[in-house]
Amino acid sequence: MAFFDLRCRDCQKEFTEMVSFSKLSEVKCPDCGSTNHERVYKANIKGPISSGSGGGYAPPSRGFT
Ligand SMILES: [Zn+2]
């Protein structure tokens, strides 16, 4: 089971559904009941984006030169 962010193609409703990937196509829109939806990819990844210590953004040291 995983959370999927979906958008209904019929009524443009965006909703989140917890379902296994194999059952994703069976998910119905909570508004109109349509199964015609697409996945929405949101950039809500929880990572070390906090601007606490360090004083801002520190670029990865990979040596681009
Ligand atoms: Zn809908």
CATH number (domain holding residue 19): 2.20.28
The alpha carbon of 20 and the centre of ligand 1 are apart by a number of angstroms equal to 20
The alpha carbon of 41 and the centre of ligand 1 are apart by a number of angstroms equal to 18
Which pTM value belongs to this model?
Answer: 0.62
pLDDT of residue 12: 97
- Write out the residue range of the structural domain in which residue 20 sits: 2-39
Mind listing the pLDDT tens digit for each residue in 15-59? 999 999 999 999 999 999 999 999 998 776 666 655 555 556 666
Within a domain: residue 6? yes
pLDDT of residue 49: 58
Within a domain: residue 58? no
- Total structural domains in the chain? 1
From the list 8, 12, 15, the residue with the least C-alpha distance to 42 is: 15
pLDDT of residue 19: 95
Q: What six digits make up the tokens of 7?
A: 């958008």
Q: Under a CB-based contact definition with an 8 Å cutoff, are residues 13 and 7 in contact? A: yes
